[in-house]
Chain A
Amino acid sequence: MNVIEVEGLSKTFKFYRKPQGLSASFKNLWQRQVEYKEAVKDVSFSIEQGQVVAFLGANGAGKTTTMKMLSGILHPTHGKIKVLGHTPSEREEQFKKRFSILMGQKQQLWPDLPAIDSFSLCQRIYDIPTPLFKQRLARLSEVLNVSHLLDIQVRRLSLGERMKMELIAALLHGPELLFLDEPTIGLDFLSQRAVMRFLQQLVREDNITILLTSHNMADISALCERVLVIQNGQLVFDDRITQLQNTLGGLRRIHIESESPLHSEFLGRYGKVINNDVHCAELEVGDDVVNQVLQHLLKDIAVKDIRVSAPPLEDSLERLYTRRGQVA
Chain B
Amino acid sequence: MWRQFIKHLKIYGLLIKLNAIRQLEYRVNIVLGLLVEIGYLGIKLLYAYIIHDTGVHISGFAPQSLYLFIGTFILMTVFFVAMLQFNIMAFDRQIIEGEFDLILTKPVSAQFLATLKYVETWMVIPNIIVGVSLVSYGWHASDIAFDIVHVGLYVLYALLGIVTMYCIFTLPLLLAFKLHHISAFHSLVWALWDFNNLPHRIFPSPIQIIGTVFLPIFLITNFSPLAVMGQLSIGEMIWGGIAPILLFFLTCWGWKKAIHSYESGGG
User: For residue A225, which residues in chain B have a CB less than 8 angstroms away from its CB?
Assistant: none
Known A-B contacts A71-B105, A74-B262, A113-B21; the reply to A105 vs B14 at CB < 8 A is no
Tell me if A121 and B102 are in contact (CB < 8 A).
Answer: no
Q: 0/1 per residue, B236-267, Cβ < 8 Å to A? A: 00000000000000000000000011111011
User: For residue A153, which residues in chain B have a CB less than 8 angstroms away from its CB?
Assistant: 25
- Minimal Cβ-Cβ distance residue in B for A117: B18
Identify the stretch in A123-131, A192-200, A285-293, A297-305 within 8 Å (CB) of chain B at 4 or more residues: A123-131
Indicate if A93 sits at the interface (CB-CB under 8 A). yes
Q: 0/1 per residue, A84-126, Cβ < 8 Å to B? A: 0000000101101101110101101010110001101100111
User: For residue A74, which residues in chain B have a CB less than 8 angstroms away from its CB?
Assistant: 262-264
One of B11, B21, B260, B266 near A117 (C-beta < 8 A): B21
Indicate if B10 sits at the interface (CB-CB under 8 A). yes
CA A156 to CA B110, docked complex, whole Å = 28
Tell me if B101 and A121 are in contact (CB < 8 A).
Answer: no
Number of chain A interface residues as a range: 20 to 34
Tell me if B22 and A64 are in contact (CB < 8 A).
Answer: no
CA A100 to CA B11, docked complex, whole Å = 19
CA A121 to CA B101, docked complex, whole Å = 17
Indicate if A266 sits at the interface (CB-CB under 8 A). no
User: For residue B261, which residues in chain A have a CB less than 8 angstroms away from its CB?
Assistant: 75
How many Å from the CB of B173 to the closest CB on chain A? 19
Tell me if A68 and B101 are in contact (CB < 8 A).
Answer: yes
Tell me if A101 and B264 are in contact (CB < 8 A).
Answer: no
Q: In the complex, which residues 76-129 of chain B have their Cβ closer than 8 Å to any Cβ of chain A?
A: 98-99, 101-102, 104-108, 110
Tell me if B11 and A125 are in contact (CB < 8 A).
Answer: yes
Enumerate chain B interface residues (CB-CB to A < 8 A).
7, 10-11, 14-15, 18, 21-22, 25, 98-99, 101-102, 104-108, 110, 260-264, 266-267
Enumerate chain A interface residues (CB-CB to B < 8 A).
13, 64, 68, 71-75, 91, 93-94, 96-97, 99-101, 103, 105-106, 108, 110, 112-113, 117-118, 120-121, 124-127, 153
* 28 A-B pairs whose Cβ atoms sit less than 8 Å apart in the complex: A64-B267, A68-B264, A71-B105, A73-B104, A73-B262, A74-B263, A74-B264, A91-B104, A91-B110, A93-B107, A96-B105, A96-B107, A97-B107, A100-B105, A101-B101, A105-B266, A105-B267, A106-B266, A110-B18, A112-B25, A113-B18, A113-B21, A117-B18, A118-B18, A121-B15, A121-B18, A125-B106, A125-B107
